[in-house]
Structure 1
Amino acid sequence: MITASTATIGFIGLGVMGKSMVKNLMEAGYKLNVYTRTKSKAEELLELGAAWHDTQASLAKASDVIITMVGYPEDVEKVYFGDEGILNHANKGAYVIDMTTSKPSLAIEIYEEAKKAGLTALDAPVSGGDIGAKNGTLAIMTGGDKEAYDEIAPIFRVLGERITLLGPAGAGQHTKMANQIAIATNMIGVSESIIYAKKAGLDAEEVLATISTGAAASFSLSNLGKRMLERDYEPGFYVKHFIKDMEIALESAHNMGMPAPGLELALKLYKELADMGEADSGTQALIKLLAYEAEMTL
């Protein structure tokens, strides 16, 4: 079993969530190698003792476990394949874990190519946003071999609370798609609920506090609804990344012959929101679009 005393972790991608995840791993005693395209994003971590690598290839050679948390499937492909790719430079026996929300088909491809290279791959996307990353309470949805999952479990327990092996390679990504589908229409409901309360002349904060304790309760209602009321649109999860996730989910659903009208509506609305200049806002900014359409000032 991999522990802080037996493994050095390489972490690629230090965005909103990645940076907090690295901090938690360092606080748990793990040695961290880090790489991201913009070195300035790593300065705080370097001051805490993380080791910087100028290339992902260098990081891969120096690490026993390599975790990736990047933006889009095309970023995942660049990180894993090609001349500088992880799969061409990691030491035999190393573990590679993609925690990016990406395509299930790509997760399967990475798993198969890693096996050929003498590596072990897991797909392990997460849910919980910036709050979950900071608090180490992420839900971690894993696909891959049970033996590998059991080896990596101590690392996952630092990063999250609900940690589950859902099936073979790609199962983690499929589970994340189910998660994003559930969130997509929920965000519409949360936004419309708050707008309705305000239109009805109610105290929206009191309404939110009340309905959060009943059947309407959800993470989005309690956490992102609160941010909507505070007009806090800073990204715990970017609109542009949510659009990416929904596009992957819709493509996967269609490939399985499944209609997804709720997902299609949410994707349409979020694309309209991005066109308003909100692509780099948090997903809770959806209320701006719906309030505008309801001719209401927030």
Structure 2
Amino acid sequence: MALNLLKKSDYPIMGYDVFNEKRSIFIGNGGKSPDNIEEIYENSDIIFLCLPSNNLVKKSIEDIINNGKKGTIIVDLSSTAPTVIREMYDKTKQVGISLLDSPVSGGEPGAIAGTLVLMCGGDKETFDEASPLLHYMGTSVSYMGKSGCGSIAKLANNMIAGCYLGAMSEGLAFAVKAGLDPETLFYAIKDGYAGSPIFEVKAPKIMSRNFEASARIAVHQKDLMNAVKLAEEMNVEIPMSKMVLDYMNEMEDLGKVSEDHCAIVQIYENNMGVVVKKQEVNV
């Protein structure tokens, strides 16, 4: 996302990451990466955040409040809990700083290609000001409503995606248990109602046993935890999402939370005593 901003916009852009190799890539593409992150907070008009936890987002926004300048726009691209976003929205508003919650969907391939889906919450005038930059990162940029609405849209997105991953995993494991070749099944049904972009990308990963993460279980797990918490606050049930979250929690217990989220198929495989993989061809 940072590289797309760097390559497509005419603005001078600074970037920071805790991993030096990421900063080196950014610098190698013409960006500036100061050693002190406060330099970014003090000198930037728009600050994009993309962080893995609610606490890190909250801490970073608090640091911007303390070190940033009045009129700064913060765009949180993370999947942050709506309650945290709304709390920080109120705090930034008090000091003349604007906050947009603008989580993304599309995974690593979408981030690289600049084809992400962005769902935005906050003040409409702030969204309108930041929108041109958001379009450098995504092909779909939607204003969802007041603060927190972007985060809620992302929760709904990942509830649907998580339940789909669960249904796909269950169906593939079931088919293998019943004696079908999963690759043959994949090509038979991928263009029907069971097909989707998730099926197109994740089923081949499963069958090749490639669980290197383009979307980590840990991140999806966090979103489902946030969804469960919000559902409890609203006094509603989300049983399918809870079931998928339980399986992700099992993957954490197995030490596999850094694998791709499609790796939850391993829970279904263990329960059915099968492995969903391509059949070996004997020559």
Q: Which residue of the partner structure matches residue 262 of structure 1? A: 240
**TM-score normalized with structure 1 length:** 0.88
Other-structure match for 2:41: 60
- Aligned residue in 2 for 1:6: none
Structure 2 residue 109 is the aligned partner of structure 1 residue 109: no
The equivalent residue for 1:139 is: 117
CA RMSD in angstroms comes to 1.4
SS in 2 for 1:43: helix
Q: 1:214 corresponds to which residue?
A: 192
Does the Cα contact within 8 Å between 1:56 and 1:86 map onto a contact in 2? Answer: no
Tell me, yes or no, if structure 1 residue 130 matches structure 2 residue 111. no
Aligned partners of 1:74 and 1:98: how far apart in 2? 13
Q: Provide structure 1 residue ranges, at least 5 long, that are not aligned to the other structure.
A: 1-20
* TM-score w.r.t. length of structure 2: 0.93
Q: Aligned partners of 1:184, 1:239: CA distance in 2, in Å?
A: 10
Question: What whole-Å deviation, never above 9, does each CA across 1:238-273 have from its counterpart, x for those lacking one?
Answer: 111111111111000110011111111111111111
Instruction: Please name the residue that 2:7 is paired with.
Output: 27
Name the CA distance, whole Å, in 1 between partners of 2:12 and 2:169.
42
Q: CA-to-partner distance for each residue in 1:189-237, whole Å, 9 max, x for gaps?
A: 1111222232333332232233221211223211111211121101111
Q: Secondary structure at the match of 2:268?
A: helix
**CA–CA separation in structure 2 for the residues paired with 1:55 and 1:109:** 26
Structure 1 outlier segments of 4+, above 6 Å: none
Q: In structure 1, what is the equivalent of residue 24 of structure 2?
A: 43
Question: 2:265 aligned with 1:284, yes or no?
Answer: no
* Aligned residues with identical type, % of pairs: 28
One-letter amino acid matched to 1:105: T
Tell me the distance in 1 between the aligned counterparts of 2:245 and 2:50: 23
Instruction: Structure 2: state its 5+ residue gaps.
Output: 277-283
Q: SS of the residue aligned with 2:119?
A: strand
Superposed displacement of residue 110, structure 1: 1.9
* 1:155 and 2:133 matched: yes
- Tell me the distance in 1 between the aligned counterparts of 2:188 and 2:140: 27
Alpha-carbon separation, structure 2, partners of 1:139 and 1:215? 22
Q: Is the 8 A contact 1:80 1:86 kept in 2?
A: yes
For 1:209 and 1:139, the matched residues in 2 are separated by 27
Matched, 1:73 2:19: no
Instruction: Check whether the contact 1:56–1:79 (CA below 8 A) recurs between aligned residues.
Output: no
Q: Distance in 2 between matches of 1:47 and 1:183?
A: 35
> CA separation in 1, counterparts of 2:236 and 2:37?
38
Contact (CA 8 Å) 2:103, 2:151: kept in 1 or not?
Answer: yes
Q: Which residue of 2 aligns with 1:224?
A: 202
Mapped partners of 1:212, 1:143: distance in 2: 34
- Deviation per CA, 1:155-205: give whole Å up to 9, x if none: 111111121101100000111111111112111111112222323333322
